[in-house]
Amino acid sequence: MLILFDIDGTLLRTEGAGVRAMLETFRALHGELGFSFEGVQMAGGLDRLIWTQMCMRHGLETSSHAHMQFRTAYGERLHADLTVEQTRAMPGAADLVHAAHACGAAVGLLTGNYEHTAHVKVTRAGISPTLFPFGAFGDEGATRRDLPPLAIARAESHFSRKFPPASTVIIGDTPMDVDCAKANGCLCIGVATGPMSRQELVDAGADLAVETLAETSMLIEWIKQVTVRAV
Ligand SMILES: [Mg+2]
């Protein structure tokens, strides 16, 4: 089985520090143009799309070169500014990642973050990025729905075996995580440690929705059962 973890609101929270680092990067690159994320879909969004929306709103260039410049500058800023104190691992998240490895699952990331900032955040939360040897990231698709096939392909090339979508579980905190799982025939566990309630995640179509990831053995048992059934 393959388990793919979202980052923000699922494995950890940076309590606004990630968003602040992005805003400061816009200001450092372009000056004070009144940058704000008001009206921009942040939770569950892809960093490249967030960047594009911000550029369009402020009349800035959206070339790949401009994007690379932003991605590099934001990565450097987050690496320099994000502290361990600001980065809170969500209850049970690290234990679940370890338990998933212990029971032989392939474990990766599926996140709207860029790969570099994904690893910065996870590290600051006290979780080793080596626990996620592959993933799909926020500049690798036009929408979140493009990411599961990429993550599955990378898992397959990492382990040299097949991972059918029906034995792939995506764990995330927003309806976008549920949507990208369902659109690709994957299973989804919704966790209410982000902006959405458990009920909202149920309503969005999560196969299982929990308040936190604290019940490690229940979650592992559930994953084993549904993925065995799928094979
Ligand atoms: Mg999230």
Answer whether residue 231 shows pLDDT above 60. Answer: no
| The one-letter amino acid at 87 | T
Task: Kindly give the distance from the C-alpha atom of residue 157 to the centroid of ligand 1, in angstroms, as a whole number.
Answer: 26
Task: Kindly give the distance from the C-alpha atom of residue 193 to the centroid of ligand 1, in angstroms, as a whole number.
Answer: 9
Confidence of residue 205 (pLDDT cuts 50, 70, 90): very high
Answer whether residue 104 shows pLDDT above 70. Answer: yes
* Per-residue pLDDT at 42: 83
CB-count exposure of residue 205 (10 Å: 0-12, 13-18, 19+): middle
170-182 burial code (b ≥16 CB/10 A, e <16):
bbbbbbbbbbbbb
Lowest model confidence (mean pLDDT) among 27-36, 123-132, 194-203 = 27-36
Average pLDDT over residues 130-138: 98
CA–CA separation, 181 vs 171, rounded Å? 9
Task: Kindly give the distance from the C-alpha atom of residue 139 to the centroid of ligand 1, in angstroms, as a whole number.
Answer: 15
Task: Kindly give the distance from the C-alpha atom of residue 160 to the centroid of ligand 1, in angstroms, as a whole number.
Answer: 29
Average pLDDT in the chain: 96
Answer whether residue 163 shows pLDDT above 90. Answer: yes
* Per-residue pLDDT at 227: 87
Answer whether residue 216 shows pLDDT above 80. Answer: yes
* Per-residue pLDDT at 7: 98
Task: Kindly give the distance from the C-alpha atom of residue 62 to the centroid of ligand 1, in angstroms, as a whole number.
Answer: 25
Taking alpha carbons only, the member of 107, 106, 128, 129 closest to residue 116 is: 129
Residues 193 and 215 sit within 8 Å (Cβ to Cβ): no
Answer whether residue 199 shows pLDDT above 70. Answer: yes
Task: Kindly give the distance from the C-alpha atom of residue 59 to the centroid of ligand 1, in angstroms, as a whole number.
Answer: 28
* Per-residue pLDDT at 166: 95
CA distances from 50 to 54, 62, 139, 166 (A): 6, 11, 10, 30
Percentage of the residues of the chain whose pLDDT score is greater than 70: 99
What is the per-residue pLDDT across 67-102, written as a single tens digit (0 to 9) for each?
999 999 999 999 999 999 999 999 999 999 999 999
What is the per-residue pLDDT across 19-28, written as a single tens digit (0 to 9) for each?
999 999 999 9
Helix axes 216-230 and 93-102, enclosed angle (nearest 10): 50
Task: Kindly give the distance from the C-alpha atom of residue 6 to the centroid of ligand 1, in angstroms, as a whole number.
Answer: 6
CA–CA separation, 21 vs 2, rounded Å? 32
Task: Kindly give the distance from the C-alpha atom of residue 144 to the centroid of ligand 1, in angstroms, as a whole number.
Answer: 11
Does the CA dihedral 191-110-40-127 come out positive or negative?
positive
What is the per-residue pLDDT across 6-52, written as a single tens digit (0 to 9) for each?
999 999 999 899 999 999 999 999 999 889 888 887 878 899 999 99
Task: Kindly give the distance from the C-alpha atom of residue 92 to the centroid of ligand 1, in angstroms, as a whole number.
Answer: 16
Average pLDDT over residues 116-127: 98
Task: Kindly give the distance from the C-alpha atom of residue 190 to the centroid of ligand 1, in angstroms, as a whole number.
Answer: 10
